[in-house]
Structure 1
Amino acid sequence: MQPLLDLSRLISSTGRAALSGLDRVELAYARHCAAMPEQERCFVARSPWGPFSLLPDRLALPLVAQWEALTRGEAAARPLKALGLAARAWLMSGLGVLPLHRRLRGMPGATLLVVAHQSLAESAPIAALKRRGARFIPIIHDLIPITYPEYSRPRQIALHVRRLANVSALADAVLTDCEAVRADVLGYFGGLGREMPPVVAAPLGFDLPPLRSIPDGPVPERPYFVTLGTIEPRKNHLLLLNLWRDLAERLGPQAPRLVILGRRGWQNETVFRLLDRVPAFPGLVEERRDATDADVAFTLRHARALLFPSFAEGYGIPLIEALSLGTPAICADIPSLREVGKGVPEFISPLDGVGWRDAVLDYSRPDSPARQAQIARIAGFLQPRWDQHFNALQQAVARISTRSSDNTTASVAVQSAGMR
């Protein structure tokens, strides 16, 4: 395989200088491809005018290096923004479109890898590369806008339908983050009566921040819990805030603390009003919107547990991060988190407020048997690795090659039969 890796998302994220979960996946792919010989891979991105453009190494490699440094707490945002502006200027110029087409002539194994959903909405740029011999493998991270439309904007629902239609029409193989999403993808297209290319579940790897970058400050004496992720309706912060208001009334200053790590999202005004106005929350509920990777790791490492009451998840990177740090987790009982958690966390229905309250009170005690039992289970948790993910990618490529060979053999046989 000779990858054409789409870096459109990493370029678009340079303005905020903070990595989301999908950004981290694209960065892991960029790191993997950057280690390959230059003639065996290239970086691409969508131009504002539509087509994919070659992104020269002189722009792509420093961008990847700066993102890597930022995850280690070693880079300021200004150089990253400058690199993003330089990449956008190159893409706007259109000067990389024809060089990409020329590169494809010498890359018989060229495979367009689209890690983020944003480049899947338009079919023409992908089809243009396929006409020049490239194969196409995207990752589908979830079907949440379709399976849980109540948690998405109407525009996002229609956009995701279009993305999946383009994948069905153009992809040579599809990767998903886990078996639960693979089942959703196959069920969705099966219900529409559409054929699908091979769909392969390839669990994402996870990289902890370097230990030297994690602060070695004093551990808070007061027990606290952490929830990690954008504050949006499907994450079910409302359950936690109602629970903490109840704890404040019952226990007063003796209640455990709740630390919310994540930016405010959309369509969640009730939660925002609770965070801003409930008199009991100052000193009890802490909201941190721009925590670094190292700060997140430190906060998670010393928490009584990660709280993850989501109604829907595609994969659940916060769960992997907590368990990799040795921190227990209390999770929503949904298929993707059960698969990722491998039997380690406590699982409770995201609708069971009393169950969540009882679990939080139990885990807040220093002698909690349930927490100690989970810590023992964590010892057997195997953190997913990127090399395993890329092995699954290579297997998907091999399936494409085998299928293409079989189709060619069948075509020759049909032609031979017609000549007799």
Structure 2
Amino acid sequence: MRSFFELLPSRIDQAIAGRTLRTFRVRRQRDRFGAAPAASDGQPRRLYIDVTVISRHDAGTGIQRVVRALALALVDEASPAWEVHFVAATRRRAYRHIAWPDAGRAVAPIAIEARPGDVFLGLDFSLDMIRRHRRQLAKFRLDGGGLWFLIYDLLPVERPEWFSPNNVIRYKAWLETIAGIANGLLSISQQTADDLKHVLADQYGLTGGYSTGIIPMGHAIMESVLQNAADISSAPSVRFDTTHPFLLMVGTLEPRKGHADILAAFNELWRQGSDYRLVLVGRQGWQVESLCNAIRNHPEHGAKLLWFDDVDDLELEQIYQACEGFIIASHAEGFGLPLIEALGHLKPVLARDLPVFRVHEDRGVHFFPANAEAGELGDHIRRWIGDIRAGTVTVKPPVANWKKSAQAVLAILD
């Protein structure tokens, strides 16, 4: 109920505010900011990295693996010209310094303030806190700081039917906030950059006045794990038998991820006597109650069909290593991190034929038609597995890593 009342002003606003009013508000906000002053001489620039969500609850999603890996890499790659600080906000407390990832480290919880050349990097997916503390962030920019945000996708605007109504409201309120205050916007792929440009122009009349950049994504899960090497070496084994071949899907179970299509295809294969195993790793999302019930009550559940909704990064790393091949069936993505995580483990990948995935074609990714029915999709899966077992699938690992990702961010911020 609290969420309903907190979002009520945004709910009403989005119901009545048209493009003209949204454009006016964004333009009025942006007109408050002049040219950024030069960085202070003799002082390092401060980079404030927002880790609001992950510092409170690390759900192990793809976005959080990106946040964790990139935040840690930025600390390692920043030159002495930068001071890197992790910051977070709560409903009642504005953005301030926090001790992360080492919660035991002594850090004074001082609210962030800008001097010329400082940068706030909205790395985490902090929809509510950015909106709630927009005045603090606007003052940060007025005082000479830069506001940059990483955009993962625009799907809640482009395909709202795939998301819960509250999350669509939260996302749109966040996007209008950053459209009004951001110096620059980073994207995780060319697809996301193109979508961002279109949405900002279409929704807010914003066609310029902000900087952009595309960040290459790393893929190594172990580079984002916070535990030390001893913890990694003593990680518990995978909870199912990995000695028999299995196909893997990774990602939250939600409508756009395409799990239902893959399950239907495997149903056809199993009906024909196939012994292929399908392993699903991901938490239950929204609008998938019928799918989750179908999985739990499936006659092959626990045998040829396995679903784990509480896998941590250490276990996921082992599952990637053990799988025979990887399937990504999303109907849309801003990037598709699990795809390059699988390629990073030199695993064959079968993907829905989308432009965002086609950029990986030269790395050995195979494709099935975007609108394939269960029977046709099953045929593609059967042929793909046959090629894997015949040794005719060649996989090339991604060239980017989190070190290069961090270097790209720092180069853009310079």
TM (normalized to structure 2)? Answer: 0.77
The one of 29, 48, 51 equivalent to 1:4 is: 48
The one of 124, 131, 149 equivalent to 1:121 is: 131
RMSD between superposed Cα atoms in Å:
2.9
Alignment of 1:236-275 (within 5 A): 236-251=258-273, 254-275=274-295
Deviations 1:2-32 (A, max 9, x none): 3111120222215xxx422222222223323
* Counterparts of 1:311 and 1:207, CA distance in 2: 24
* Counterparts of 1:255 and 1:187, CA distance in 2: 45
Q: Secondary structure at the match of 1:136?
A: strand
Alpha-carbon deviation of 1:279? Answer: 2.3
Residue 390 of structure 1 corresponds to 406
* Counterparts of 2:96 and 2:353, CA distance in 1: 43
The answer as to whether partners of 2:62 and 2:338 remain within 8 angstroms in 1 is no
Counterparts in 2 of 1:341 and 1:389: CA distance versus 1, 3 Å: farther
The one of 86, 91, 98 equivalent to 1:43 is: 86
* Counterparts of 1:174 and 1:5, CA distance in 2: 14
The answer as to whether partners of 1:176 and 1:182 remain within 8 angstroms in 2 is yes
The answer as to whether partners of 1:136 and 1:170 remain within 8 angstroms in 2 is yes
Alignment of 1:23-34 (within 5 A): 23-34=64-75
Residue 281 of structure 1 corresponds to 301
Q: Secondary structure at the match of 2:279?
A: strand
The one of 24, 47, 61 equivalent to 1:20 is: 61
Alpha-carbon deviation of 1:47? Answer: 3.1
Counterparts in 2 of 1:33 and 1:304: CA distance versus 1, 3 Å: closer
* Counterparts of 1:223 and 1:120, CA distance in 2: 45
Alpha-carbon deviation of 1:368? Answer: 4.4
- 1:373 matched to 2:392: yes
Residue 199 of structure 1 corresponds to 212
The answer as to whether partners of 1:9 and 1:26 remain within 8 angstroms in 2 is no
Deviations 1:61-117 (A, max 9, x none): 514xxxxxxxxxxxxxxxxxxx69x99xx8xxxx522xx33xx34xx3210001123
Residue 346 of structure 1 corresponds to 366
Alignment of 1:381-420 (within 5 A): 381-398=397-414
Counterparts in 2 of 1:279 and 1:170: CA distance versus 1, 3 Å: same
Q: Secondary structure at the match of 1:195?
A: coil
Deviations 1:176-198 (A, max 9, x none): 00001000011112224213412
* Counterparts of 2:371 and 2:248, CA distance in 1: 19
Q: Secondary structure at the match of 1:62?
A: coil
Deviations 1:145-185 (A, max 9, x none): 11111111122222222222222211111100000100001
Q: Which stretch of the first structure deviates more once superposed, 309-318 or 25-34?
A: 25-34
Residue 110 of structure 2 corresponds to 96
Residue 33 of structure 2 corresponds to none
Alignment of 1:156-195 (within 5 A): 156-192=167-203, 193-195=205-207
Amino acid at match of 1:46: A
- 1:60 matched to 2:125: no
User: Structure 1: which 5+ residue stretches go unaligned?
Assistant: 64-82, 399-420
TM (normalized to structure 1)? Answer: 0.76
Residue 77 of structure 1 corresponds to none
Alpha-carbon deviation of 1:230? Answer: 0.8
Residue 118 of structure 2 corresponds to 110
User: Structure 2: which 5+ residue stretches go unaligned?
Assistant: 1-44, 224-231
Amino acid at match of 2:304: L
Alignment of 1:325-344 (within 5 A): 325-340=345-360, 342=362, 344=364
Counterparts in 2 of 1:326 and 1:53: CA distance versus 1, 3 Å: same
Counterparts in 2 of 1:129 and 1:350: CA distance versus 1, 3 Å: same
Amino acid at match of 1:200: G
The answer as to whether partners of 1:223 and 1:364 remain within 8 angstroms in 2 is no
Amino acid at match of 2:167: Q
* Counterparts of 1:121 and 1:25, CA distance in 2: 22
Give % identity.
22
* Counterparts of 1:394 and 1:220, CA distance in 2: 40
Alpha-carbon deviation of 1:281? Answer: 3.2
Counterparts in 2 of 1:301 and 1:359: CA distance versus 1, 3 Å: farther
Alpha-carbon deviation of 1:48? Answer: 2.4
Q: Which stretch of the first structure deviates more once superposed, 343-352 or 176-185?
A: 343-352
Alignment of 1:211-250 (within 5 A): 220-250=242-272
Q: Which stretch of the first structure deviates more once superposed, 389-398 or 4-13?
A: 389-398
Q: When you count helix as a share of all residues, which structure comes out higher?
A: 1
Amino acid at match of 2:381: V
Alpha-carbon deviation of 1:216? Answer: 8.2
Count of aligned residue pairs for this structure pair: 353
Alpha-carbon deviation of 1:360? Answer: 1.9
